[in-house]
A and B are shown apart, each in its own frame.
Chain A
Amino acid sequence: MLKVALKNLLGHKFRTLFTAVAVALGVGFMSGTFVLTDTVAASFDTIFTEANAGIDAVVRGQAAYEAAAVDGGDQRPDIDPAVADLVRQVDGVAAAEPVVASIGSVLDDEGDPLNSTGAPSFGSNWTGNAAIDVFEVEEGRAPEGATEAVVDTLTAEAGDLAVGDPFRVQTLKGVVELDLVGIIRFGESGNLGGASFVMMATPAAIETFTLDGRIQNVSAVAEDGVSEPELVRRITAELPDGLEAITAAESTEEAEEGIGSFVATFQVVLNSFAAIALLAGAFLIYNTFGIVIGQRVRELALLRALGSARRQVLTSVVVESAVVGLIASIMGLVGGIALAVALQSALATTGLGEAGAVPVIAPRTIVASLLVGTTISVLCALVPGWRASRVPPVAALREASVDDVRRSPIRLAIGLAVAAAGVAFLVVGGVGTGTDAVAQAALGTVVIFTAVVVLGPYIVPPLTGLLGLPLRLFGVAGTLGRDNARRNPKRSAGTASALMLSVTLITFIAVFALSFGRSINAATDEYFKGDLEVVTSAFGFPSLSPDLVDDLAGQDEVAAVTGVQRGIVEIDGDTRPVYGVRFSDVLDVFDLGEVRGDLASLAPEQIAIDDRTAEEEGWAIGTEVPVTYPDGQPTTVTVGAIYGSGGIVAQNSDGRFLVSDQVFRDRFPGVGQLVSRIDVTAAQGVGVEELRQVVEARTESFAGAQVRDRREIKAANNRQLTFTLGIFFALLGLALVIGALGVTITLALSVFERTREIGLLRAVGATRRQMAGAITGESIILTMLGTVLGLAIGIAGGIAVVRTQRAELDTLRISVSPPFVIGVLVLALLIGMGASLIPAWRAARMDVLKAVTVE
């Protein structure tokens, strides 16, 4: 039987190849993700180990509470540079130096940041101690004095900077001009994961790069014979409260964990798209095996008649699928590794890792790829294989009928029940609000999708008739295409399912994202009372100085101005995001809904909360709430005002706690004080253009700062949205490709099966063009089936999920964009035409004589 299975594979190379490709694409996506992320993580591990190689201990401020990695991780208070002196006095310390790890972004001639990779731009200090400085001077010399600086090789290259050049750097306080006296190199690669560095002598670095003269940590080197833990123990004994010491090894480990958790998240996200691709591949394998076994009924029956046992028939099908799966997995694994190497090289050009780094192929990658690909193939072949084993021997003597479609009433009953459950979940979710409602609506979408897959054979015939109406314009070829799509509903439904999967997801995400985008724009229309907004283009990291807000507040043309700062704070035992604003002006910039209490004159010891928080926590004006800021000092604040909604401040459904910007100045580390955006309202009688000139003049010293009016704010929001959607679509594109492959395979199998029919048509006068047209028509119907159903499910699910957010976002708009829907339909049309190319060509080229005389 093994021989029979293998011969089958070889006998149908085209089919085997296409089935394998479908699985290979998914497996390749998965293995590529593993290899790429492992390689990137490994290169960071090397960097961190190398960076900490010369030191033994790190002294730093103690984090008052833990903050999630997505919120930027723990916020440690900055420390006094004098701590370095304290550490030096400790017995066993050979050397200790203050370390400045602030922001310093080298600018090009236009005043834009040179480092545009998204990796951080550090303003740091050159200690002059070779054990502590992680860089070496490559060219020129170490910096001295107040204006000398060195930059890393990557930055020097990017900015075409040479020793002796003056250059400009954006710091927390504004733009400064420095003199380049040297170029420094880190290890072999010359850079730290794409991050850029500008370094000055320690006193100058503290003066230039920090807001308040405080530093981030102290690095210490032990005397010979003193171990890292011993050194830490001795230092810790001397440290005042609020400071901690860790070993260099712990510091490396922490850094690796930080990157590791980022990489892991990335891995999970990418792999979930790989899983979607694999699911689409699974639909395709299931369908292909089903069709093939239907076509081979006579052959299988003959095997049975000749005495092979049922189990042998099943075994032969399973073996066949396992071989396909294994071949596909190997193809995928190899392709995935190649893809990862290519992507890694592309990333390396932006400074992330080294070009040509050895790809990390973990055993886990190989095992998972081979196992997943093979298992999916075998599982998907089991049901068709079981069916094959039930073929009675007598079927060998009958004319095999390909139109024999049994649609069991049990299937209908199950399908309808599942559909009812799905609709129920969707409605309950869509009517409700909150996290549970989101889960219900999402579950409803999945369940309805499942129901449509189950009910496919019932839905296909009427829907095909409807979708096929326009095909009548193309004469009898179109009619034939439609009838062919309808003649085997199970097959058509199975083929459409793979496409339906990706279209459902794309639609779901689009409805969600477009609705969210429109809602945010609606919020700008309704709740933004200001005229201009200042933002920086630095990947959403806050990079505007709080001083700039004060500067703008002092301008005559400005009636009201507030910055928006975001930080994680422990409130009543929970860590929550709080937003720093200028209470005096905020109500003239943002409409926060109905406000109770005198919000405009709140003191730093008071906070403002939104209605929902007040209701959920049972707090009222005057309630005292324990709060811990990053400086670790326990504080009690008083609820001073309660407002309707802070969504416009946070620009999402958050914005539930507002504090004075003074709190950020007093209680947050330097980098945490940065402002992500500044919103400005013009004074009476001042036009927007006049205001813009004033604001632009004041923001000149902030690199990448952009001033936007209302229209530009919304346009930028739309651009951001399009970009995000583009990434999702690209990731889902693979599943779409697999769906299209499925259409091709089904059609190719159908063409093979209908050889005589096609021969007859050609004999009685169908031209090649008409033949190809009929196949293309059928292909378009198959893709349209999947697309229309996917659109319907995606829209229904998307609307339900969006609706659950209406409590969080009172400007909620549900957007099912007609251009999107039309775009998807046009895309489906193109896919339908593309998928039919090979089968249509085969049908058109079929030798008429061979076709009509085939036995």
Chain B
Amino acid sequence: MSNAAAPVASAVVARAEQATKYYGRGETAVLALAEVDVAIERGRFTAIMGPSGSGKSTLMHCLAGLDNLTSGRIVLGDTDLSTLDDKALTLLRREQVGFIFQAFNLIPTLTAEENITLPALLGGREPDREWLDRVVATVDLGDRLKHRPSELSGGQQQRVAVARALAQRPQIIFADEPTGNLDSRASTEILGFMQAAVRDTGQTIVMVTHEPSAAAYADRVLFLNDGRIVDEMQDPTEERVLDRLKSLGG
């Protein structure tokens, strides 16, 4: 995909409109998202923060097409996700969305390189070699490509995951607590790569995190509480984020 070359209608890549999500039914139903309106801007690094149960993961899963809303809608690019069936959603994820999870990001039977090119392989396409080399160089994995995940450290595994997300040049990358399982050195590395991708290639990244130090790498932080966006901050620093969280009672 070469989304960069396509005419861009707006600077918004993804947006939620009146996004509402209940888990369960009837009396036991739990409200996870309450009429959330949010727009994710192209080429920026957005962090979503909030206390446990605030709905930050739910928002991300819905934006990524992994979960459906109870009401409202999600528009990714020009596509209303609620109109898509499973197959179309799958193809959309394959081609336009990248994922970085907290753990277990890789297929153990595939080499690092195969894991990186997995979405392309699933689509039956040859990966763009030149771009791939650049991504691999960015995350500094050159000599590890033929290794299997079990032969890589946790930090290296997560770098492979980042490379896989970047390799597709998706419209948007969603990262769910990407540093949650890493030590501080590896975390710094991973966040640095993500920041560089946004800065150098205009990649759009949305990251859910509960670590203020991680959120500080983002351009913009959204604060969620009780299923609502309660605040937002541009060009955050760790201290400011921490203060804000305290004031939220998280």
Contacts and interface: CB of A to CB of B under 8 A. Distances in A.
A complexed with B: yes
Interface string A737-772: 000000000000000000011001111111110100
22 contacts: A403-B108, A475-B122, A476-B118, A476-B124, A477-B122, A483-B110, A486-B109, A487-B109, A756-B104, A757-B108, A760-B99, A760-B106, A761-B107, A763-B66, A764-B93, A765-B94, A765-B119, A766-B94, A767-B87, A768-B86, A848-B66, A849-B67
A322 to B, nearest CB: 35
A480 interface: yes
B109 A766 contact: no
Given A764-B164, A767-B91, A476 B121 contact: yes
A849 B66 contact: yes
A757 B94 contact: no
A202 B25 CA distance: 90
A475 B104 contact: no
A539 B87 CA distance: 61
Nearest to A485: B109
A730 B180 CA distance: 57
A852 interface: yes
Interface string A179-212: 0000000000000000000000000000000000
Interface of A: 401, 403, 475-477, 480, 483-484, 486-487, 756-757, 760-768, 770, 848-849, 852-853
Contact of A475 (B90, B98, B101, B124): B124
A764 to B, nearest CB: 5
Nearest to B93: A765
A766 B108 contact: no
Contact of A764 (B57, B61, B94, B104): B94
Contacts of B87: 767-768
Contact of B90 (A477, A483, A760, A768): A768
B65 to A, nearest CB: 9
Interface of B: 57, 61, 66-67, 86-87, 90-91, 93-95, 98-99, 101, 104-110, 118-119, 121-124, 150, 164
Contact of B108 (A476, A487, A763): A487
A764 B160 CA distance: 14
Contacts of A401: 150
A762 B107 CA distance: 12
B99 A763 contact: yes
Contacts of A760: 99, 101, 104-107
A477 B123 CA distance: 11
Given A757-B107, A765-B90, A476 B122 contact: yes
Determine chain A's interface SS by DSSP, over half rule.
helix
Contacts of B61: 849
Contacts of B90: 762, 765-768
Contacts of B104: 756-757, 760
Contacts of B119: 764-765
Contact of B66 (A483, A486, A767, A852): A852
A852 B101 CA distance: 8
Nearest to A854: B104
A765 B106 CA distance: 13
Contacts of B94: 764-766
Given A760-B104, A764-B164, A765-B122, 15 more contacts: A401-B150, A475-B124, A476-B121, A480-B107, A483-B110, A484-B109, A756-B104, A757-B104, A760-B105, A763-B101, A764-B99, A764-B118, A764-B119, A765-B90, A765-B118
Contacts of B118: 476, 761, 764-765
B121 to A, nearest CB: 4
Given A764-B164, A768-B87, A849-B67, A480 B109 contact: yes
A795 to B, nearest CB: 32
Contact of A766 (B105, B106, B122, B150): B122
Contacts of A852: 66, 101
Which 6 A-B residue pairings sit nearest by Cβ, starting from the closest?
A765-B94, A483-B109, A476-B121, A756-B104, A765-B119, A767-B90
A750 to B, nearest CB: 12
Contacts of A486: 109
B189 to A, nearest CB: 22
Contacts of A853: 57
A427 B226 CA distance: 78
Nearest to B104: A756
Nearest to A855: B103
A764 B165 CA distance: 9
Nearest to A765: B94
Nearest to B149: A403
Given A487-B108, A487-B109, A852-B66, A763 B86 contact: no
A238 B1 CA distance: 111
A762 B97 CA distance: 12
B9 to A, nearest CB: 24
A761 B118 CA distance: 8
Contacts of B121: 475-476
Nearest to A848: B66
Contacts of A762: 90
Nearest to A853: B57
Contacts of A756: 104
Given A848-B66, A849-B66, A763 B124 contact: no
B67 A764 contact: no
B175 to A, nearest CB: 12
A188 B2 CA distance: 88
A480 B104 CA distance: 17
B95 A765 contact: yes
A765 B96 CA distance: 10
Contacts of B107: 480, 757, 760-761
Contacts of B108: 403, 487, 757
A763 B97 CA distance: 9
A488 to B, nearest CB: 10
B66 A764 contact: no
Nearest to B148: A403
B149 to A, nearest CB: 10
B100 to A, nearest CB: 10
Contacts of A767: 87, 90-91, 122
B93 A763 contact: yes
A762 B119 CA distance: 10
A774 B150 CA distance: 21
Contacts of B106: 760
B191 to A, nearest CB: 21
A818 B106 CA distance: 44
B71 to A, nearest CB: 18
A250 to B, nearest CB: 73
B165 to A, nearest CB: 9
A38 B90 CA distance: 60
A475 B123 CA distance: 9
B61 to A, nearest CB: 6
A761 B123 CA distance: 12
A770 B106 CA distance: 17
Nearest to B87: A767
A756 B94 CA distance: 17
Q: Most chain-B CB neighbours within 10 Å: which of A401, A475, A761, A764?
A: A764
Contacts of B95: 765
Contacts of B98: 764
A694 B95 CA distance: 83
A476 B150 CA distance: 20
Contacts of A484: 109
A487 B110 CA distance: 11
A681 B90 CA distance: 77
Nearest to A484: B109
A484 B109 CA distance: 7
Nearest to A482: B109
A65 B9 CA distance: 105
Nearest to B96: A765
Contacts of A848: 66
A774 to B, nearest CB: 10
A491 to B, nearest CB: 14
Contacts of B109: 480, 483-484, 486-487
A764 B86 contact: no
Contacts of B93: 763-765
